[in-house]
Structure 1
Amino acid sequence: MTRFPRLLLACLLAGTACIHRDFPQQLRIHQNLPDSGPEFSFVLYQSVGVGLRPGHVVELVQDDHILEAFESEIRQARTSLHLVTSSWQPGEASERLLHAFENRQPGVVCRVLVDPRDSPDFVEQVQPRLVQAGCDVRSFRPFVGSEVIFDDERLSARNHRQLLIRDGLSGLTGGAGVGPAAWRDTYVHVEGPSVRQFQRAFAEGWQEASGELLPDSAFPVLAPQGEARAGFVASSGSPSLSHSERMVQVLIASARHRLWLTNACFVPTAATADMLIRKAREGVDVRVLVPGSRHGGPPGMLSAQRTSYERLLENGVRLWEYQPTPLHARTILVDERLAAVGSMSLEPRSSSMLSEGTLVVEDPQLARALASSFERDLTSAVEIRRDGWRQRGLFDRFAYQLPASVVGCR
């Protein structure tokens, strides 16, 4: 049997697709970058067109407190509420949000944009109540209609941004949407100039789904609110190099002694793996927290995730798998001041096909809170050690050595 049929057979037996968008010319930053201050802001601006502006108050919001923060924002709204999410599923969280929207202040305009791919039963069970409550509800690239029903590429290019914007003055963003059960997630609540970037990201999707622009009143002048420097990086899928990929490369290259990543969809490209390894070899404390075997996501996700383990472990990167609940957080912590929280997944499909959003923040207080959260999560995770990984069984060795494309990661 020739080499190609053997590889094809291996792909079929492993149940994963041997399709991996990984090009030799992928971006690899070959210099150490500043990790804070105007110098870092300018590096980020060069890379993605977004710098870090001063004047923000940014607060970490996690797990059950995320829903509470959503309810609080809806109660406080006086002019408008804009929500875009990749997933809205019926359940307790959905009921609480529906109740909040139904009881918002009179005259508050409500616009909701939902991606239907990971929102089963939304149209039947949730949308009618939102419409009855006076919300304008749209689907992002729906699965019916003459333009998209037979267009596979368009159907695969989904929204994965998670945003709630209140009155154009404050916003929330994080890793996942409205789910039916508890899971581990991290959001940030922000006030300050970058909320205007949140609103623009919402407007982009809303314009496509509705054919309408937001009114001028949706973009009020935003006065400085605090000391944190922040910028929102909105990324659209690109077959070559997305803003999400550029941003991740900049953040990794900026690390001097600490680089802690939590990611719900971790199938790093060769370029990302190379950068993590380079930092570990330089003596940076590189740690990665990913979903565990009990909550490994959609079929094939765990196998895809583990394809990178051997090379990373052999080169000093430390890995943990989170155990108690599904993990949906997507965060990066660099040294003592720099943090990123959003929806970015470290897997090829996220960069090539999905619209993502991440808030990059320079703020020692937020960095300390994220570091404490990360350390708590490690107490509920299992570290994958190099020696133990070498001794895994033959089936695991075979199953986890193949590249895979990830479909359906939320």
Structure 2
Amino acid sequence: MNRLPRLLLACLLGIACVHRDHPQALRIHEDVPGSGPALSLVLYQSVGVGLRPGHVVELVQDARILETLEAEIRQARESIHLLASSWQPGEASERLLRALSERQPGVVCRILVDPIQSPGFQESMGTRLVRAGCEVRAFRPFIGAEVVFADERLEARNHRQLVIRDGRSGLTGGSGVGPAWRDTHVHVEGPAVRQLQQAFARDWLEAGGGLLPESAFPTLEPRGEARAGFVASTGSPSLSHSERMVQVLMAAARRRLWLTSACFVPTTATVDTLIRKARAGVDVRILVPGYEATSGVLAAQRSSYERLLESGVRLWEYKSTLLQARTLVVDDQLAAVGSNNLEPNASAMLEEGALVVEDAPLARALADSFERDLSHAVEIRRDGWRKRGWLDRVGSQLPPSATGCH
């Protein structure tokens, strides 16, 4: 039963190619305001989401992600909603099952999982969650014994990671339920939780789960000083909200632009903006996966290095463990944490999401985390990159459209 999803995943990673790197792609050439209502207005014009005040935000990383998720489940009094792009067997899965089985009486549990990266989930964990009283659904499931590999539904997957408790607090980040990856999430309370809930509701409705009750959208009073907004992105053949959001945030950088990306196969438009910022004196640093990336993805990732390094952008490859974090730190106040891949296939096909936050303490915490990660990474230096062997040179010329990563 597990062979079909694994085969599908291998095929999608190897042959699902969408070339969307055209010269008319969005580039924001003017400098964008870096904070306050002016920044919020620019973001609203681009993706329809502004940054509202009244939030408490907290950086949650690595082992604390699972601990926070368990705590949210145990604190729930009305509902717990969980959307995961990947649910793999192991300790994390068993701990979540235990927490959900022990949740308070009357708490409604709704779980939505994408089956592509969750082989065997329904037969193993899904049935156990149902026995624990949860309603479990698959996002765009495989139907029937035969699969048409050209079916766009098999390529248009859900990559969002969402947890919403009682409609009042939320958690979002880079990866789903699995091993102890290097990952970053953000916990939020305040008005933006309604946006996380709406993103879950939209996908839940598509999966046949029906409409959520009115109680799932309570009135949310301001909780803190942070300004925040959740940007949900649906795959687009032209320009996704994920791409628009990243362009706005990069354009806002004046002094610092530190990017961590678990999937970095940037379009020419993204590379152009990074280069423009570096040449303007912005400290542009990029942290990407190292040896653990598949050979095709790593080659495509490295295809952009030449231009970036020549223009003063600094690059590191993470070597400690599987890198799943997807974060952006701009100057001293602006940050984004989510699931967004900087890769053409992802923008064209995937459901993504990121919480954009204007909050100095969160930006500082992310910057400190970024610097700690660099101690487990190898910097790719311009001179060394020029001297690499011919085999590496051939591999790094692989066009970004020739591969995909999830």
Counterpart secondary structure, 2:187: strand
Q: Distance in 2 between matches of 1:282 and 1:362?
A: 23
- Which amino acid letter does the alignment assign opposite residue 44 of structure 1? L
> Which of 301, 304, 324 is the matching residue for 1:305?
301
Residue by residue over 1:238-288, the C-alpha shift from the partner in whole angstroms, topping out at 9 and shown as x without a partner, is 000010000000000000010000000000000000000000000000000
* 2:337 alignment counterpart: 341
SS of equivalent to 1:300: helix
Give the Cα–Cα distance (whole angstroms) in 2 for the partners of residues 351 and 394 of structure 1.
Answer: 31
Pairing of 1:58-207 with structure 2 (within 5 A): 58-145=57-144, 152-179=151-178, 181-207=179-205
- The alpha carbon displacement at 1:182 in A equals 1.5
- Contact 2:138–2:207 (CA under 8 A) maintained in structure 1: yes
The aligned residue for residue 248 of structure 1 is 246
Query: How far apart are the structure 1 equivalents of 2:52 and 2:74?
Result: 28
- The answer for the alignment partner of 1:3 in structure 2 is none
Aligned residues: 393
The unaligned stretches of length 5 or more in structure 2 are 1-13
Query: Which residue number corresponds to residue 6 of structure 1?
Result: none
Code of the residue aligned with 1:56 in structure 2: it is H
Distance 1:342 1:17 in 2: 23
The AA in structure 1 aligned to 2:283 is D
Distance 1:35 1:338 in 2: 7
What is the 5 A alignment of 1:276-295? 276-293=274-291, 295=292
2:395 to 381, 394, 399: 399
CA distance in 2, matches of 1:149, 1:120: 18
Structure 1: which 5+ residue stretches go unaligned? Answer: 1-14
Distance across 2 between alignment mates of 1:58 and 1:333: 15
Q: Identity percentage over the alignment?
A: 73
TM normalised by structure 2 equals 0.94
* Cα distance, 1:405 vs structure 2: 3.6
Residue in structure 2 matched with residue 50 of structure 1 by the alignment: 49
Is contact 1:79-1:109 (8 Å) kept? yes
Instruction: Indicate if the aligned counterparts of 2:184 and 2:325 stay in contact, CA closer than 8 A.
Output: yes
Q: Retained in 1: the 8 A contact 2:250–2:274?
A: yes
Q: Structure 1 stretches (4+) deviating beyond 6 angstroms?
A: 15-18
CA gap 1:248/1:311 in 2 versus in 1, 3 angstroms = same
Contact 1:148 1:154 (C-alpha < 8 Å) held by counterparts = no
* 2:311 aligned residue: 315
Alignment check: 8 A CA contact 1:118 1:408 kept: no
Q: Secondary structure at the match of 2:254?
A: coil
CA RMSD of the aligned region, Å? 1.6
Shift, 1:409, TM fit: 2.7
AA of the residue aligned to 1:118: Q
The 2-side partners of 1:111 and 1:342 are apart by 21
